[in-house]
Amino acid sequence: MRTQARPIAKAPGGRGLPGGRRPGIAFGIMVMASALLAASPAPAQETFMGTPVIPHAGTYKALNDVNVRAKPATSGKRVGGLKKGERVQAAGRSKDGVWLALTKDGKELGFVYAPLLRIVIAAPVVFTQPMTPVSGTYLVSRNVRVRAQPRTKSDEINRLSKGERVQAVGRPKDAAWLAVSKGGKNLGFVYAPVLVPLIDGTLDADLKGKVSFGGGLSCDYAVHFEGKNQAQGGDFDISDYEITYDCNRRGKEISFPAFMFITEAPYQVTEKQVYQISIDVLEIEDGYDEIFSTILMYRRGSDLVVFDSVSMKNYMRPPRVKEKPAMSVEEALAAAVEMAPGAWNDKVWETLARSSQ
């Protein structure tokens, strides 16, 4: 695996994608436990210690020593207390959702101010409304509330922290929301723009193929998956590959290695499904310790790989093929490998011919 610094890749529309060895998508990781307030979507009410409550279940622990009161208000009589870390079960919540009715070992304890508790085990969530099935892994881009129904005024039943990963379950009629699960358990509905769709760049077997570029140039290629590395400053992965090119240019054999990566999170870490692919040829230098890179974009939503740019303009020629269809990550990688050499001018091939002698 190479150790050279990767170039600053130019992103679509001339926007710079800050670099280093990895695309520098600023994305801090802070995976921490959040205070989660669970709520049942059922509007029915029950009575707890003489006070109407909305049914709700879940196991909670106290964040600090807290008072337990007979009524869901600070003016309610103190009837006990919880020690920091003590676990209790919720039996309901106040109408305004601010207080939780608690039990322990089947005994009614009283009410505790909800923000002073943290959920440990949430009650199971069952999706009852019709949804379009959706699959895939998503990255949570910021702390977000999980709702019982796909609308902002629905009850909050969980929370997710920035950096967590969840699985998509389905998309309701309102496409702005996504039903998600984690660890095989349904969580609820999350506002979709907060979720970043991830891809998996793993190859179970080498990719092999052949491509012709015209003008007496054709290449056989093989792509080998090297592994994954974490993105610089981020909490998603980048998949690395080694490419072996065996080319014939005007009757002359030219063989050389190249190196490729694909970002498993979209460009700029948004919900837009555009993933960067970069192919580096180490033999081409420009005197500034810069690597010759060809940048392409996998537009997953459109099932296309599109040529974007090269890092050294004086080594580029306009490619004859500027886009190729790709219905999967594997097809996207193969398309990139087949398109990149078409954007290299004579100076590149002359240098490669000398180095392969």
Q: Enter the pTM of the model.
A: 0.69
Helices (H), 208-320: none
| Residue 352, H or E segment | helix 346-355
Say if CB 222 and CB 206 are below 8 A apart.
yes
Same domain as 273, residue 231: yes
Residue 4 included in any domain: no
Confidence band of 289 (pLDDT split at 50, 70, 90):
low
Q: Tell me the pLDDT tens digit for each residue of 38-90.
A: 333 444 568 999 999 988 878 889 999 999 999 999 999 999 999 999 999 88
78 vs 285, more confident: 78
Whether residue 95 has pLDDT greater than 50? yes
Same domain as 262, residue 329: yes
Q: Looking at 156, 176, 197, which one is the last position of a domain?
A: 197
Strands 99-104 and 87-93: antiparallel
- Of 171, 114, 118, 180, nearest in space to 147 by CA: 180
Residue 20 included in any domain: yes
Q: Is the dihedral of CA 94, 99, 100, 102 positive or negative?
A: negative
pLDDT at 7: 35
Is residue 355 classed as helix, strand or coil in its secondary structure?
helix
Q: How many domains does the chain have?
A: 3
Same domain as 225, residue 112: no
Same domain as 321, residue 207: yes
- What is the CA 182 to chain-centroid distance, rounded? 14
How far, in Å, CA of 187 to CA of 166, rounded? 9
Whether residue 136 has pLDDT greater than 90? yes
202 vs 25, more confident: 202
Same domain as 204, residue 193: no
Q: Tell me the pLDDT tens digit for each residue of 251-263.
A: 999 999 999 999 9
Residue 244: both structure tokens together: 């072996």
Same domain as 318, residue 212: yes
**Per-residue 3-state assignment (H helix, E strand, C coil) for 318-350:** CCCCCEEECCCHHHHHHHHHHHHHHHECHHHHH
Same domain as 189, residue 336: no
Same domain as 224, residue 112: no
pLDDT at 21: 38
Share of the chain above pLDDT 90, in %: 62
Residue found under tokens 């087949």: 338
How far, in Å, CA of 284 to CA of 286, rounded? 7
Q: How far are the Cα atoms of 26, 68, 88 from residue 9, in angstroms, in the given order?
A: 15, 58, 53
Whether residue 297 has pLDDT greater than 90? yes
Whether residue 305 has pLDDT greater than 60? yes
Residue 2 included in any domain: no
Whether residue 316 has pLDDT greater than 60? yes
Helix/strand/coil percentages in the chain, nearest 5: 10, 45, 40
pLDDT at 62: 93
Q: DSSP class of residue 316?
A: B
What is the b/e burial string over 285-298, where b = at least 16 CB atoms within 10 angstroms of the residue's CB? eeeeebbbbbbbbb
Same domain as 272, residue 213: yes
Give the mean pLDDT of 328-341. Answer: 97
Write out the residue range of the structural domain in which residue 321 sits. 9-27+200-355
How far, in Å, CA of 293 to CA of 275, rounded? 16
Least-confidence region, from 50-54, 155-159, 198-202: 155-159
Count CB-CB contacts under 10 A for residue 306.
19
Question: DSSP letters along 46-113, please?
Answer: EEETTEEEEEEEEEEEESS-EEEESSSSTTSPEEEEE-TT-EEEEEEE-TTSSEEEEEETTEEEEEEE
Same domain as 315, residue 174: no
213 vs 287, more confident: 213
Say if CB 10 and CB 17 are below 8 A apart.
yes
Q: Looking at 67, 94, 122, which one is the last position of a domain?
A: 122
Same domain as 276, residue 236: yes
Which residues, at least 6 apart from 13, have a Cβ–Cβ distance to it below 8 Å? Answer: none
- Of 17, 15, 20, 90, nearest in space to 58 by CA: 90
